[in-house]
A and B are shown apart, each in its own frame.
Chain A
Amino acid sequence: MNWKPFAGLLLLAAVAGAVYFFQGTEQGSAGPKGADGKVEASERIEVPCYVGGEKSRYLKNPRVQEILAEKYGLVLKATKAGSIEMVTTLPVEQMSCLWPSNQVAVELYRGRSGVPPALAQETIFNSPIVLYTWDVVAEALAQEGLVESRDGVQFLTGFDVLVGHLESGTSWQEIGLPQLFGKIKIFSTDPRKSNSGNMFSGLMANMLNGGDVVGPEALETVLPKLKSYFERMGYMESSSGDIFENFLKTGVGAKPIVVGYENQLIEFAIENQRHLEMLRQRIRTLYPVPTVWSSHPLMALDSKGKRLIEAFEDPELQQLAWTQHGFRSGLMGAQNDPADLPVTGLPASIEAVVPMPTAEAMGRIIDGL
């Protein structure tokens, strides 16, 4: 498999990025401030922006809004939109920025004609695609040798074997789960409608290609397999939030394994602190080896958008994103300490990452499904 060189590339970029990050935080950015050092209400400006729904809880966090307003004089007017539609079809004339949840979107926007170009672009957060499952399922997968626990983190090292099971229609019973009816499945959102499902389809395409990034030629053989895989899913939710909620509420029989973002369980655990113990006992986060990053590139379309990028580089806003919402910093060189969080089983960094197929390849995948 071929993701290790990419991880190296990330590291290289991290060194370069650290310098930028340092400079970025040095600039005191906003307009006139009152006696208390806060930007006065009358001086604050509104920044209209399309934002992927995954970030809505973070952006509604009162402390986040307070920092944006008082320290940077910015009021984010977020309109929830899908990552793909905001860069391809939605009108952007009134918008100062676009904030999708994957890097492919940046590429797609670059190829769109008749719209203002992005003046600046910065990956503010990252969150790996993970699999959520239940204690009994994780244990059965470990028994089969597909899941390895390292420093308390559960890695799906046998992802390729699991994909083989999905293809061949192995039943749950055959991997030691007779209480679950039917064949092994991983449920995701609809790749045509939702970002996490879309990214999972890219990851699956790579896995069906022996773990290598799918290019135009490989797609010929991979696409029919991918299509038959998704056809077996039936109805798929169209929002990552919905599938996560259904996973939790309908239980192990209905949704044994689902695809999600790493930050979803963290955010949920923080909001439901009193149930932490139960969550720890019952729910497992599996890190596929390899996985893909859902990154959150903020694209500025005007000067207000650029000011917003600067603001989100603020250390406290970055820290809040991690400690209360589980988003890893996308800023180069920034570290996230799992010890800051009430949830266990989080790795300090994600090493095994494979790039998503190109925007063009993803376009063909979506059209072909």
Chain B
Amino acid sequence: MWTACRGLKFLILLSLALWSLACGGEAPSGPGAESTSKEASRAGSGGVRLTIVSGSENKSLEPLVVEYGRQVGADIEVRYQGSVDISLALENGRNADFDAVWPANSLWLVLGDRHKVVKHEKSIMRSPVVFGVKKSVAESLGWVDKSDLRVNDILAAAEAGKLRFAMTSATQSNSGASAYFGFLSAMAGSPDVLSIEHLEDKEVRDQVRRLLKTVDRSSGSSGWLRDLVIQSYDRFDAMVNYEALVIEANQDLESRGLEPFYAIYPIDGMTIADSPLAYVDKGSKRKEELFLGLQEHLLSPTVQASLGAFGRRTGLLGLDAGSMDRTVFRSDWGISPERVISPIPVPEESVVRAALELYQTALRKPSLTAYVLDYSGSMRGDGIAHLKTAMGTLLDKEVAQRYWLQPSQDDVHIIIPFDGAPRAVWQAEGADSADLRVLLNKIRSAEAGGGTDIYEAVGEAVEQIGRYENRLADFFPAIILMSDGKSKGSLEQLETQFRTSSFAYDVPIFSIAFGKADESQLEALADLTSGRAFDGKKDLVKAFRAAKGYN
């Protein structure tokens, strides 16, 4: 979703970046500015390649990074992963297939850096995690200019059906995790810091479960969540996201003549993302120098100012550095730099892990997932093997646990293998290992063969989900569709079924392309339901994990 507005911003940002590189030496006293010219002329970076793994919230800043690489003759690549995936990947230590990380919060470095390979960690910018609520909704709730709004007020509004909101998964994405920790802390009565005792407290669990039950839509990424609420504007009243992404969304919405979000800062559930950029030391001096040059560049006064134009809080001191542009940090959007933001204290590492485990296995709204899996003839060989491994990572509890994807007691798993038509419906409920193993064995013993019809198979999935129609609000329903071929049949035929259904359009389809899949067919299905298309051609297992992270 590269809108005109964002495209323009890209150009402005790019020209600022170039200006900064060209004129960096001009300001005599700033170490950042001085180094820019030094770094730019440093011949040592020529031909060096640096791969950064970053949270999706930094996507709009990529031109700055890539352009810096070009200027110093180096090749800088940015890849996007959720904070949790970044943390997991760091556990590989020196074997990580990247050179630097840029998660949303330093917490994920603490959790992942078991081999002590991370160094030169510096926060590039800050952004609080807020509730962006459509302004008219905020007004009707009496939340505009209310400075002491608490998490309980949000629970009350959501339970009364006055606030339909979307939030990322706490075990996949930093903004969701941040909000979740805010909820826990608030429901535990704002203790000095969260402890295991709080997590074991039934009262706290019940309250947080109630709040999470009101979430209308989950996501695996904060950047995608922003796009979703713009795209499906009428379906949501609010999103939990970074203040910066609320600003980005508002700029977009205003250019379309739509009502913007108003930022709410619940005083007992605040967190701040500090976006640390850190180096992963694998022993290359030249990469390290390139990295340090880039970091200094991003921290130089000019680039910091341009990051400010993107709604990031930057500068030397605090969250209210004087240069904040009031046409970006707008008070009519609820954003006031003067407000003191007191985040909840970060709990100890063991408490963080226990809380995430609790979210995944007990407190989150359960998933109702229909896996629609292509067993057509072209899947023979590697394809079917990858598919079976992928399903193993989701349904084998021990493997799923590694990725914080383990099932909860209330999850529902429906498997629909298909070729030219749906072959069967296999189903299990809950998190019992034996039940899941039976399901997995069926998946593993089926063989590839026959043609491809994704539409009829998706239609069957909608039928199956329809059996839960009267309590669909208790679940995050989703269809995870994987295919490697060109489907017969047509979307029109499926839409006829959708139009007679009261819920089909509300079940997102997360489609995964594999092999020689017709991507346009898969994308169309994702678009139809505000889902997302994933590319599984390089790594099918990873694509399945990512798709499940959105459910």
Evaluate contact between B318 and A282: CB separation under 8 angstroms: yes
A153 in the interface (beta carbon within 8 A): no
Q: Give the residues in chain A near B110, CB-CB below 8 Å.
A: 235
B527 in the interface (beta carbon within 8 A): no
- A279 interface neighbour in B317, B340, B347, Cβ under 8 Å: B317
Evaluate contact between B345 and A278: CB separation under 8 angstroms: no
Q: Give the residues in chain A near B320, CB-CB below 8 Å.
A: 251
The proximity string for A residues 82-103 relative to B, scoring 1 for CB distances below 8 Å and 0 otherwise, is 0000000000000000000000
Tell me the complex Cα distance, A232–B344, Å.
12
Tell me the complex Cα distance, A273–B342, Å.
28
Number of interface residues of A (CB under 8 A): 32
Evaluate contact between B29 and A233: CB separation under 8 angstroms: no
> What residue in chain A is nearest B27 (Cβ atoms)?
A274
Q: Give the residues in chain B near A278, CB-CB below 8 Å.
A: 316-317, 322
> What residue in chain B is nearest A169 (Cβ atoms)?
B192
Evaluate contact between A254 and B341: CB separation under 8 angstroms: yes
Evaluate contact between A251 and B319: CB separation under 8 angstroms: yes
Stretch in contact with the other chain, from A13-21, A144-152, A176-184, A194-202:
A176-184
A296 in the interface (beta carbon within 8 A): no
Evaluate contact between A272 and B318: CB separation under 8 angstroms: no
The proximity string for B residues 311-332 relative to A, scoring 1 for CB distances below 8 Å and 0 otherwise, is 0000011111010000000000
Q: Give the residues in chain B near A242, CB-CB below 8 Å.
A: 121
The proximity string for A residues 234-249 relative to B, scoring 1 for CB distances below 8 Å and 0 otherwise, is 1100000010011011
Q: Give the residues in chain B near A251, CB-CB below 8 Å.
A: 317-320, 340-341
Evaluate contact between A234 and B194: CB separation under 8 angstroms: yes
B185 to chain A, nearest CB (A): 10
Evaluate contact between B342 and A181: CB separation under 8 angstroms: yes
Q: Give the residues in chain A near B29, CB-CB below 8 Å.
A: 273-274
Q: Give the residues in chain B near A282, CB-CB below 8 Å.
A: 317-318
Evaluate contact between A249 and B340: CB separation under 8 angstroms: no
Evaluate contact between B317 and A248: CB separation under 8 angstroms: yes
Q: Give the residues in chain B near A66, CB-CB below 8 Å.
A: none
> What residue in chain A is nearest B30 (Cβ atoms)?
A274
A171 to chain B, nearest CB (A): 10
Evaluate contact between A250 and B192: CB separation under 8 angstroms: no
The proximity string for B residues 127-165 relative to A, scoring 1 for CB distances below 8 Å and 0 otherwise, is 000000000000000000000000000000000000000
B46 to chain A, nearest CB (A): 25
Evaluate contact between B316 and A272: CB separation under 8 angstroms: yes
B259 in the interface (beta carbon within 8 A): no
Q: Give the residues in chain A near B317, CB-CB below 8 Å.
A: 248-249, 251, 275, 278-279, 282-283
Evaluate contact between A254 and B121: CB separation under 8 angstroms: no
The proximity string for A residues 161-186 relative to B, scoring 1 for CB distances below 8 Å and 0 otherwise, is 00000000100000000011111010
Q: Give the residues in chain A near B107, CB-CB below 8 Å.
A: 235
Q: Give the residues in chain A near B319, CB-CB below 8 Å.
A: 250-251, 253
Among A169, A179, A183, A185, the most chain B Cβ lie within 10 Å of the Cβ of: A179
Q: Give the residues in chain A near B123, CB-CB below 8 Å.
A: 245-246, 249-250
A133 to chain B, nearest CB (A): 12
> What residue in chain A is nearest B123 (Cβ atoms)?
A249
> What residue in chain A is nearest B341 (Cβ atoms)?
A253
- B318 interface neighbour in A169, A231, A234, A249, Cβ under 8 Å: A249
The proximity string for B residues 331-363 relative to A, scoring 1 for CB distances below 8 Å and 0 otherwise, is 000000000111101111101100000000000
B399 in the interface (beta carbon within 8 A): no
A143 to chain B, nearest CB (A): 18
B190 in the interface (beta carbon within 8 A): yes
B205 in the interface (beta carbon within 8 A): no
> What residue in chain A is nearest B320 (Cβ atoms)?
A251
B22 in the interface (beta carbon within 8 A): no
B123 to chain A, nearest CB (A): 5
B272 in the interface (beta carbon within 8 A): yes
A232 to chain B, nearest CB (A): 4
Tell me the complex Cα distance, A183–B343, Å.
12
B108 to chain A, nearest CB (A): 12
Evaluate contact between A252 and B318: CB separation under 8 angstroms: yes
> What residue in chain B is nearest A273 (Cβ atoms)?
B29
Q: Give the residues in chain A near B57, CB-CB below 8 Å.
A: none
A337 in the interface (beta carbon within 8 A): no
Evaluate contact between B268 and A181: CB separation under 8 angstroms: yes
A271 in the interface (beta carbon within 8 A): yes
Evaluate contact between B345 and A234: CB separation under 8 angstroms: yes
Q: Contacts A235-B345, A272-B316 given: A182-B192 contact, CB under 8 Å?
A: yes
Docked complex: A254-297 residues within 8 A CB-CB of B: 254, 271-275, 278-279, 282-283
> What residue in chain B is nearest A271 (Cβ atoms)?
B31
B274 in the interface (beta carbon within 8 A): yes
B122 in the interface (beta carbon within 8 A): yes
Among B27, B107, B272, B352, the most chain A Cβ lie within 10 Å of the Cβ of: B272
B267 in the interface (beta carbon within 8 A): yes
Q: Give the residues in chain B near A183, CB-CB below 8 Å.
A: 192
Tell me the complex Cα distance, A88–B27, Å.
46
Tell me the complex Cα distance, A204–B349, Å.
24
Docked complex: A21-48 residues within 8 A CB-CB of B: none
Q: Give the residues in chain B near A253, CB-CB below 8 Å.
A: 270, 319, 340-343
> What residue in chain A is nearest B314 (Cβ atoms)?
A249
Tell me the complex Cα distance, A215–B245, Å.
54
Tell me the complex Cα distance, A283–B348, Å.
28
- B193 interface neighbour in A234, A246, A272, A273, Cβ under 8 Å: A234
A254 to chain B, nearest CB (A): 5
Evaluate contact between B126 and A235: CB separation under 8 angstroms: no
Tell me the complex Cα distance, A251–B30, Å.
21
Q: Give the residues in chain A near B268, CB-CB below 8 Å.
A: 181
Tell me the complex Cα distance, A232–B190, Å.
12
A288 to chain B, nearest CB (A): 21
> What residue in chain B is nearest A238 (Cβ atoms)?
B110
Tell me the complex Cα distance, A279–B322, Å.
12
Q: Give the residues in chain B near A274, CB-CB below 8 Å.
A: 27, 29-30
A125 to chain B, nearest CB (A): 23
> What residue in chain A is nearest B32 (Cβ atoms)?
A272
**What are the nearest 7 A-B pairs in CB distance?**
A251-B318, A234-B193, A181-B342, A232-B192, A253-B342, A235-B346, A253-B340
Q: Which residues on A are within 8 Å of B, measured CB to CB?
A: 134, 169, 179-183, 185, 231-235, 242, 245-246, 248-254, 271-275, 278-279, 282-283
Question: 14 extra interchain contacts, Cβ-Cβ under 8 A, other than A182-B190, A248-B316?
Answer: A231-B193, A231-B195, A232-B192, A233-B192, A235-B107, A235-B345, A235-B348, A246-B123, A249-B317, A253-B343, A254-B343, A274-B27, A275-B316, A283-B317
30 A-B interface contacts by CB (under 8 A):
A180-B342, A181-B270, A182-B192, A232-B193, A233-B193, A233-B345, A234-B192, A234-B193, A234-B345, A235-B346, A235-B347, A245-B122, A246-B123, A248-B316, A248-B317, A249-B318, A250-B274, A250-B318, A250-B343, A251-B317, A251-B318, A251-B319, A253-B341, A254-B272, A254-B342, A271-B31, A272-B30, A275-B316, A275-B317, A283-B317
